[in-house]
Chains A and B, each alone.
Chain A
Amino acid sequence: MNSHPGLEVIGLRKVFATGGRRHDDETVAVNDLSFTIGPGESLAIVGESGSGKTTTARIVVGLETPSGGRVVVAGRDRASHRLSAHERRSRARETQLVFQDPYHSLNPRKRVGESIGGVLKLHFNLRRSEQEARVNELLDLVGLDERHATRLPRSLSGGQRQRVAIARALAAEPGILVLDEAVSALDVSVQAQILNLLIDLRKTIEVSYLFISHDLAVVRYVSDRVIVMQRGIAVETGPTQQVLASPNHPYTKALLAAVPRPDWPIGVATA
């Protein structure tokens, strides 16, 4: 496994032009965000739509370039320009992303073994037998078995596809796994399985999580620390248990109050 890098985000800023004719028609998606993730840690970013949490995830992984601020991975500043294939490849061994949509995050024409094998081929020089063995190892790690390697995505359920997506992400042996609403599109009973898998994985292999979600209860299970974001700004941060048990910021309180409970909803405060 990779010697574990940390992730440091300093003063991150991302501005999108909203396509208007005036120069000041722009949206600040992320505004001066800073956080660190140490080896083996799990940090969650929680927020609603427009909070900037997904943009942050995409910047960390290299899908978007920041407008300002720095992203430091393994002690090295990550470039802010559009990355070349070679740069992306080396970044892939540090940060990986699991997407929200299990139905479109795998190439529909490639068998599971090929999708995972493709990643292995890109980063490692393995003989065919070694590659096959490694694919099976990864499938086993995510709770699937060898038979799944020859299946096409369309014959797999949402939960199984998400497991494959996790296996594919782990194939590159990244230090940091970014999960962008990775369980939000799954049925509740399947969501629990994947959450358990994520909790177990952290005990088995050395990997940190950057867990993006809108769901506070889910975040409670999977993360050590949490950042609450609203419209691009981190409004509250701290150990997850603490923030959820005694929130300080009114927005965090509003988020908590909005979670359906038996003694609800009359008179819910709005943000």
Chain B
Amino acid sequence: MNAAKTDESPLLDVRDLKLWLPGPTNLVPILTAVTFAVAHAEAVGLVGESGSGKSMTARTVARLLPSGAKVDGDVLFRGRSVRQFSKRELREWRQSTVQVIFQDSRAHINPVRKVGDFLREASCVNQKIKQEKADANSVRLLERVRVSNARARLDQYPHELSGGLLQRVMIAAALAPSPQLLIADEPTTALDVTTQADVIEILDELRREQRLSLLFITHDLELAAAFCDRTLVMYAGMIVEDQSSRRLHDHPLQPYTRGLLASRPRLDGDLTRLEAIPGRPVAAAEALTGCPFASRCVDYRPRCSSERPVLRPFGGGRVACVRAEEIHGVPAAAP
């Protein structure tokens, strides 16, 4: 709690990030204007549907892009530009300071090596721990993520573990080098709901314990709002809302966020027809002028088609909507 207050500068500072990926004939815009920051020991949720660019944002931050990708803007980690890292600096950064967890854990672990080998690699990487100590370390890591029979698991192969268990192993491996930032790209989407709850609980506990910053990418707004400190909502390659999770749930600022919350079936409340947003989510390339959400917005006015919204401070957070003031009346005072 103290470190976060004394060190005001953010851990991760993404400034006006733009991304293009190679398409069949030319470069296709994927991200048009992404600006956000993650503070020390803060969990930030990045939420979006198809085409929102949430996954690509994570990959751009971690510099895991395919060849031919074009990036503009900057990604600053503790004030240093990640984009300027040399190969060696990048490797070190990715080995110990930043860790990434993916949705499909099976695709990111070597199926012909044992779990113990995988964890040993993860712990030894920068720390030159000897073999015997490495195994003891691995057992400790597994116990921390509540994997039962930890010692026995070291001798098992990935296919012998269930999805949820494997994801916990990945988390253990990711936390082994004591990173400062963990990027999790839909880590629980492929898991059962009870397994998801377990994994989220472990993630939450560990990140508070280790004072880890977390960038959590998901399509599930409720999930992000439930366990992240702050939530960013993305649409068509740009961030359209940035608020503390609690406030976002009760007072969504952007019509898209409001629409998303309203269209999700609830376990409580009246059983009325769902307020579905018409149309379908678009990608950045399909909405390059005006507001990308204009064609689906209930609060649409003609100016929305011509003015491009910019993410700006509003009501205690940030919003990208040209009509924000009109829709909400006078902006609420920052908390």
Contacts and interface: CB of A to CB of B under 8 A. Distances in A.
A–B contact, 8 Å CB criterion (strictly below) = yes
Interface of A: 48-49, 157-160, 187-193, 195-196, 199, 214-218, 220-221, 241, 244, 254-268, 270-271
Contact of B193 (A220, A258, A263): A258
B306 interface: no
Contacts of B200: 260, 265, 268
B194 A266 contact: no
10 contacts: A48-B193, A195-B274, A195-B276, A196-B276, A215-B193, A258-B196, A260-B200, A264-B226, A265-B227, A270-B194
B194 A254 contact: yes
Given A187-B50, A189-B281, A256-B267, 18 more contacts: A157-B280, A158-B50, A159-B280, A188-B219, A188-B264, A189-B49, A189-B259, A189-B263, A191-B263, A193-B278, A217-B264, A217-B266, A220-B267, A221-B265, A261-B222, A261-B226, A262-B249, A270-B197
B193 A259 contact: yes
Contacts of B194: 48, 254-255, 258, 270-271
A215 B223 CA distance: 13
Contacts of B197: 257-258, 265, 268, 270
Nearest to A244: B267
A189 B276 contact: yes
Contacts of A160: 280
A264 B222 CA distance: 10
A259 B221 CA distance: 12
Nearest to B202: A265
A268 B198 contact: yes
A214 B194 CA distance: 10
Contacts of A215: 193, 265
A260 B222 CA distance: 6
- Chain B interface bracket (under 10, 10 to 19, 20 to 34, 35 or more): 35 or more
B325 interface: no
Nearest to B223: A260
Nearest to B273: A196
B280 A259 contact: no
B211 to A, nearest CB: 17
Contacts of A220: 265-267, 271
Q: Which of A160, A192, A241, A256 has the most CB of B within 10 A?
A: A192
B30 interface: no
Contacts of A268: 197-198, 200-201
A221 B50 CA distance: 24
A260 B220 contact: yes
Contacts of A48: 192-195
Contact of B226 (A187, A244, A265): A265
B275 interface: yes
Interface string B197-214: 110110010000000000
Nearest to B261: A188
A49 B190 CA distance: 10
Interface string B150-172: 00000000000000000000000
B265 A195 contact: yes
B49 A187 contact: yes
B249 to A, nearest CB: 5
A48 B163 CA distance: 13
A119 to B, nearest CB: 25
A192 B281 contact: no
B277 interface: yes
Nearest to B47: A188
Interface string B89-101: 0000000000000
